[in-house]
Amino acid sequence: MALWNVNGRIVYSENALTLSPNEANATMISRHFYKVPKSNVRGGFLTTNKGVFHTPSWTKVHPKTTLNDILFPKIKVAKPKEKSIIEFVSSSSDKKYYVTVIDSKTIKCSCPGSWRSNGNCKHIKEVRESLTK
Q: Tell me, what's the pLDDT at 26?
A: 62
| Whether this model's pTM surpasses 0.95 | no
CA distance 107 to 100: 6
CA distance 23 to 48: 31
Q: What is the number of other CB atoms lying within 10 angstroms of the CB of residue 89?
A: 9
CA distance 6 to 29: 5
Low pLDDT (below 50) residues in the chain: none
End-to-end CA distance of the chain: 63
